Amino acid sequence: MQQLHSYLSGGWVFGQGQAREIHHAITGEPLYQVCSDGLPLAASLDYARNKGGRALAQMTFQQRAQMMKAVAKHLLAHKEALYEISYQTGATRSDGWVDIEGGIATLFAYAGMAGRELPDDTLWPEDEPISLSKQAQFAARHVLTSRPGVALHINAFNFPCWGMLEKLAPTWLAGMPAIIKPATATAQLTQAMVRLIIDSGLVPEGALQLVCGGIGDMFDHLDYQDAVTFTGSAQTGQRLRAHPRLLAKSIAFTMEADSLNCCVLGEDVTPQMPEFAVFIKEVCREMTAKAGQKCTAIRRIIVPAKRVAEVQQELLQRLAGVTVGDPKLEQVRMGALVSREQRDDVQQKVEFLLHQGCEPLCGAALDKLELAGEGAQNGAFYPATLLYCADPFSHSAVHDTEAFGPVATLMPYHQTDQAIELALLGQGSLVGSLVTADEALATRFIRATACAHGRMLILDRHAATESTGHGSPLPMLMHGGPGRAGGGEELGGLRAVKHYMQRTAIQGSPAMLAAIGREWVRGATVIEEPVHPFRKYFEQLQLGESLLTARRTVTEADIVNFACLSGDHFYAHMDKIGAAESLFGERVAHGYFVVSAAAGLFVDPGVGPVIANYGMENLRFIEPVKIGDTLQVRLTCKKKIRKPQKTAEDRPHGVVVWDVQVLNQHQQAVALYSILTLVARQEGDKGQVN
């Protein structure tokens, strides 16, 4: 039998103790042996910190993003080999697509977000400077730096690829190495993906390690700069969270646990409305995708009592059409559970629920299950099972007991207040859904139940056409939930990267803040040269390089002409009497005229390295500009972001952020903002363009 090796301290190794067998979910045949006993697990932590961590910390955010993009492309090119292994876990092609290509897409998404928004630096200035003194020479800002630790990711069996990559993406971007501990039941798929990454040579040595088997005494060797994430059962997560070492060292611990997520049908929905069909489709999809082995799956189906019979009829009809069996067969829509042990656990939970106020509507018995495909009789299959609880307020088991398979319980409510109460009885969920066409009902329900959910989906006929669905965590949205769901938070765009970094408040003079953050701030020293900054290439520009323009006096003709050109005849600009009665006391110039006039003062019109205006940020009008006021602009190079070439033919460039201060004759700021320009680079990227 094959051995499933771990990857530790730069080599593929296998343990020396009692091995555990992994079986084929479809045929039941033995596949692999897994053992990590006797492996240098503690040493792998030091290897990650000293080898991988140091290499990642020296890379800028932009370089880490490019590394992740290259890894994603490499994995995508080898996806078919991963699909073949995915079948061994009982997954259909569509199940594997969510896991494999969904995980790779998360890498792409984070690489893209970082490429657009993060600096080409190892330090991340998180906010604008905060003035702490009257003369503005004492200020502060928050910065994020990489922690010299290691992230230990303990993952669940249901998403062996996505579950790893959705954690790796923000971990690597933060400059932290990772050790992956996959669930043993599906470790063969995680190991295959890790082997592809290691063999690609795209990731620094030590940035990624893998433990197939148990983690031994690794927790005893964690330190305060490290981080631990856990995805799985709440019981196991709570035990790990209470480990003495985590408490003693205040080690960051994030838990994402299974929860009894709900889907609620609004009181307003009738069988004749499109929303009714949307509800039926969403519930059935969530019950059968991954054979119900999803932490986001719908477990509680909450419907108006007057609609129970109609919902039951439609659900039973749709579930009856789901073909179960060998996932390689085209007609099969639901594969197996991950193992026979998992199947037995689901059966025990269903039997418990049947003794706690529930009755079976379909499924719930293995002897009645018809399977498609030869050799599937020994697999870990379980039928789509719909239960009914007539009195969900009297039977707490339906809100406390999760059968982690294709199992859900239908329950009635009489008024929206009761639906809200039932949703809250889940005691914390990863996701809840509401299907309704009534905006007032949706507002009331979400405002009352958002406190108990990490994510909430409101489906109507409009959203349903493009919705990614109840059970689809997305890279840009937070994934996690309160209470039973673990209280953790993952994904959520770049905010997830911050979980693996240290936030520090830096106090000092503007010059010091500018030097530390490598980003000019107002109040810091400026550099004035005779050459206009728009005449310089990206590499030639210095942070703090500044231009103080000539002056321009605003006339009544300016205001009238701008009003005619723009069509903006607002009374504060054009009505002398109305303006006199306003807070300004007299006519004032349009704010956008001020911005336009400022551009006229600082722009160099000739052909040069500046390619285009890329945008404007944080525009604020500070003081009114009146007829006769004189404007002057200080333009300062605030930040530079080098952009990689997408193709060899692209003109190499970077983004330059300019601080713009529009001043009046009293040297008061009348407008403050930043503009972004694309500026050509003198040299293109060396080597292969990704």
Please say whether the beta carbons of 264 and 435 come within 8 A: yes
- CA–CA separation, 102 and 294 (whole Å): 14
Burial of 13 (0-12, 13-18, 19+ CB in 10 A): middle
The amino acid at residue 505 is A
Burial of 101 (0-12, 13-18, 19+ CB in 10 A): middle
Q: Please tell me what DSSP assigns to residue 462.
A: H
For the beta carbon of residue 443, count every other beta carbon within 10 angstroms.
Answer: 11
Which entry of 35, 166, 212, 256 is annotated as an active-site residue? 256
> Does the active-site annotation cover 358?
no
Helix (H, G, I), strand (E, B) or coil at 481: coil
Please say whether the beta carbons of 403 and 360 come within 8 A: no
| Alpha helical stretches, state H, 473-550 | 495-498, 510-517
Cα–Cα–Cα angle for 159, 51, 186, rounded to 5 degrees: 15
For the beta carbon of residue 224, count every other beta carbon within 10 angstroms.
Answer: 12
For the beta carbon of residue 478, count every other beta carbon within 10 angstroms.
Answer: 17
Closest by Cα among 31, 42, 112 to 379? 31
Which entry of 212, 295, 358, 637 is annotated as an active-site residue? 295
Lookup: tokens for 491: 């994904």
Closest by Cα among 447, 470, 419, 453 to 265? 419
- Report, in angstroms and rounded to the nearest whole number, the Rg of the chain calculated over CA atoms: 30
- CA–CA separation, 457 and 603 (whole Å): 47
> Does the active-site annotation cover 295?
yes
- CA–CA separation, 124 and 146 (whole Å): 9
Q: Compute CA 566 distance to the chain's CA centroid, rounded to the nearest angstrom.
A: 41
The amino acid at residue 237 is G
Catalytic residue ranges: 256, 295
